[in-house]
Amino acid sequence: MTPGLAAGEGFTPELLVELAERAGQPDFPRLEKQLRSTGYCARPVRLKGHTEVCGEDGRWRSTWSTATEPDGVLRKACGNRREAICPACAERYRQDAYHLIAAGLRGGKGVPDSVSAHPMIFATLTAPSFGPVHTRVLGADGRPKRCRPRRDAPVCPHGESLSCTAVHDEGDECLGAALCRECFEYDRALLWNSLLGELWRRTTIYLPRKLAQRLGITQKRLKQLVRAAYVKVAEYQQRGLVHVHVVIRLDEALPTYRRDVIRAPDHRFTVELLEHALRAAAAAVTVPVPAEAGGGFVRWGAQLDVQHIGANEAGRCAGYLAKYATKATEQAGGVLHRVSEHEVDELAVSPHVREYLRHAFALDVQVADRKLARNAHAFGYRGHCLTKSRRYSTTFKQLRADREAFVHAQILARSRDAAQLAIAAAAPDRRRGVYAFDGQGHFTTLQGLLAEKGRAREREMRRIAREELCDQPPTRREHPCQTPQR
């Protein structure tokens, strides 16, 4: 039996018999190798074809073919970043996100170590209230408090009580749901999510203005002295609105020919100055709502938490942000795929989520350029989960290229497979792959279970060490990151 697989752990008697038969086949080690090479992907892409190498005579010859592999296919990781869809690929994405964020906090990956001494803050910007919802607030002693106790027990115009004396469990399905769905402003909430990208863009414009204003210098002069770098992660609250975790760092502004150099700004630019400037920018910035949707403006919510990042908090902060890069609307009970209008009533979602979907399709008719129907499953949000400024740190592309170069070097140094060595030794322009899509997912339940067990082993070794340090944010950040769902 495969090492690490305990009999009876997820294996029915039928699967145990199938496993015994499969393990006795000569290609079983190669099957395990393929599963391991995909990172134990939950839904690998299956390809059929071969790889060709051009010889010295200029003729292309097939060096390796899927015909000799188990089930006659090559398995490749699906690459989906969402943990609810593929935990294995999400884990790799989370690791890359961690290194990308951490490099901008403490150096590495082309960023000097001296960056840790730059003025840096961690901020959480939230959405305003669009109606009362069920919430779980922790008291000073860490115990959950009653949801919405009200002495006068008010009732809304639709006859629904606006108070709730229950103490909700952490997994209570009603958390984030509106106390009265007719009172909750779903249209405004959808537009807020949709306009969040523009709201953040304007915040990055207002921030230098507020810095210059507090220093008493012109914006032109400020641009000659300092530049801001940031990384931003979006997280869905249980009420369906997005809030933003962002790390902002100040660097010295340098001439164009030295723009890739990262140095600390002069002594005037302190972390306190950066905090005050961000608070002022967040309070001032607005984005107009399209007139056909009622007009007005969207702005940040009143709850804004800003913290100074200490020298020993870089790893913990990066781990905390990277964790949310693999999340999506499942935190709010939403779906992970696009839906059509006729599917809304058939989805197994909460009434609160269903209202979001219904309003998204109805509002899309009025505001054509916001693509609300196309992004109904994302509650109107159109942005990516993780974005950064150009000079904050390295890129995902560079991290993938570094990993590919490392694997390539390892094959040349250690592989005993003649076909692998021939392909790796050939120049990029003298090798090519000829493959066709054969499907996605595992052929059998047994293969899926083998991948699941292998994934559990791989993740357990990392989880014990990392989650103890990075699962929780710094002490001061714990409460704001669980902001009350007002």
Q: What is the mean pLDDT of residues 383-393?
A: 93
Burial (CB < 10 A; 0-12, 13-18, 19+), residue 109, is middle
Q: Which is higher by pLDDT, 144 or 76?
A: 76
* HSE-up (13 A, CA, CB side) for residue 3: 3
pLDDT confidence tier of residue 471, bands split at 50, 70 and 90:
low
Helices (H), 367-484: 396-414, 418-425, 445-470
pLDDT of residue 1: 42
pLDDT of residue 143: 87
Poorest-pLDDT segment among 55-59, 223-227, 376-380: 55-59
pLDDT of residue 234: 95
Q: Cβ of 418: how many Cβ atoms within 10 Å?
A: 10
pLDDT of residue 140: 83
Helices (H), 219-313: 219-225, 271-284
Q: How far, in Å, CA of 375 to CA of 384, rounded?
A: 12
Q: What is the mean pLDDT of residues 60-74?
A: 93
Q: What is the mean pLDDT of residues 469-480?
A: 47
Q: Which is higher by pLDDT, 161 or 475?
A: 161
Residue 323 has pLDDT above 50, yes or no: yes
Q: What value does the mean pLDDT of the chain take?
A: 89
Instruction: With beta carbons less than 8 A apart as the criterion, state whether 236 and 327 touch.
Output: yes
pLDDT confidence tier of residue 318, bands split at 50, 70 and 90:
very high
Residue 476 has pLDDT above 60, yes or no: no
Closest Cα partner for 175 from 133, 219, 236, 119? 133
